Amino acid sequence: MTTHKVLVLGAGYAGTAAAIQLAARTKGRDDVEVTLVNAHETFTERLRLHLTATGQQVAELNIPELLDGTGARFVRGWVTALDPGTRTVRVDDDRVLHYDTLVYALGGVADTVTVPGVEEHAHTLNSPEDAEVLAGRLARLEQGTVVVAGNGLTGVESAAEIAEQHPRLRVVLLGRREPGAAMNRKARAHLQAALGRLGVEVRTGAEVTKVLPDAVELAGGETIPADVVLWTSGTRAAPLAAAAGLAVDDRGRVITDATLRSVSHPNVHAVGDAAAISQGYGVLHGTCQSGMPTGVHAAVSILRALAGKEPKPFRFGYYHTPVSLGRHDAVVQFTHPDDSPRRICLTGRPAARYKEAVTASPWPTYLRMKKMPASGAFWPRGGRFTRGVR
């Protein structure tokens, strides 16, 4: 009997969901071997990186312990290349892992290459290490200005957190549109009032053209002095897939078919922020709420294919956008499946409790899936928004 090797690259929200599903559903079988590769042994709760960046403690969640007892293997290392021709992956440049089926789940990072000076002078929340470097810098700064460039939800959460944890610092939030632009009027008004209460200076219509060692330059020539710049604008996926010749979109995300297989390399499944996944309403944008279901779906599809069954199309509909505004306030915009805002939203302390419950939920969900894999199969399929597409 030959053993089918499934290799999962990246233990973020999506990759961990895929790995634990595969591990739990193949426990005790010796015809399938599951290996999970990740840069760290500790699970990075990306949703809490703005807490790490402001010196707050987050829980240590151990990935090998999660897999313990399932038979799945964990490899700690940095993936440097993949070769679909030989079905191999290079880790830390000196190890080579073979696969029959690959799950590509390396996530995405802020785009630090498009605007000059970002790579050299700006901080990011791309990894726990980056967040810790920023935390150290903020802690040492007795006074001064922190510019948060990009006022999407990561920028809003970060600006609010920095202003709350470091009230002596001036925090300027820059972006093209008004913060919370995709929310309904009430949610948006709450978000903007909270930023005002925390003393965050909001500048809209601002296009950063360059980051300098001590300032940011805007289109039109204005410069804003900055002791620290946090860059949260734009996203791009790791360059590995493109370098390996997989079909990718303009952000480097692996383009998938309806079942989450790469359109160019069907033995590669792509999930989470690393994948360009089309639904009836458009391409999924990176979230944890959609990332975990993509991981579960890829795992189930791989096992269906091994059992000689056709994989099913992936369907997903959004249901909420929870945004923290410091530790005691938040706003939760409930959404239609296509992510457009509903009329209902939650604000204030109840929203902060809701946001915390959502942020804390992935790890218990993985633990539950380890015992009962079918418990991971519940997510909104999007109803008429995703029905009958492809």
Ligand X SMILES: Cc1cc2nc3c(=O)[nH]c(=O)nc-3n(C[C@H](O)[C@H](O)[C@H](O)COP(=O)(O)OP(=O)(O)OC[C@H]3O[C@@H](n4cnc5c(N)ncnc54)[C@H](O)[C@@H]3O)c2cc1C
Residue list 68-87, contact with ligand X (CB under 6 A): 78-79
Contact residue for ligand X among 26, 112, 289, 365 (CB under 6 A): 289
**How far is residue 146's CA from residue 163's CA, in Å, rounded to a whole number?**
9
**How far is residue 30's CA from residue 60's CA, in Å, rounded to a whole number?**
31
Q: At what angle do helices 288-306 and 362-371 cross, to 10 degrees?
A: 20
233 is a site residue for ligand X (CB under 6 A): no
**How far is residue 64's CA from residue 44's CA, in Å, rounded to a whole number?**
13
Give SS3 for 319. coil
Contact residue for ligand X among 35, 44, 165, 262 (CB under 6 A): 44
Binding residues for ligand X, rule CB under 6 A, total: 33
8 is a site residue for ligand X (CB under 6 A): no
Among 12-20, 170-178, 201-209, 366-374, the segment contacting ligand X (CB under 6 A): 12-20
- 149 closest CA partner among 171, 164, 133: 171
Instruction: Provide the 8-state DSSP code for 8.
Output: E
Closest approach, Cβ 309 to ligand X, in A, equals 26
Is the separation of the CB atoms in 156 and 191 below 8 Å? yes
Instruction: Provide the 8-state DSSP code for 87.
Output: T
Residue list 104-143, contact with ligand X (CB under 6 A): 105-107, 125
10 is a site residue for ligand X (CB under 6 A): yes
38 is a site residue for ligand X (CB under 6 A): yes
296 is a site residue for ligand X (CB under 6 A): no
Give the HSE-up count for residue 97: Cα atoms under 13 Å, Cβ half-sphere.
29
**How far is residue 73's CA from residue 91's CA, in Å, rounded to a whole number?**
15
Residue list 304-333, contact with ligand X (CB under 6 A): 322
What values do phi and psi take at 371, rounded to 5? Answer: -85, -40
Closest approach, Cβ 379 to ligand X, in A, equals 12
Closest approach, Cβ 207 to ligand X, in A, equals 22
219 versus 357: smaller Cβ distance to ligand X: 357
Binding interface with ligand X (CB under 6 A):
10-15, 37-40, 44, 46-47, 49-50, 78-79, 105-107, 125, 154, 157, 238, 272-274, 286-289, 291, 322
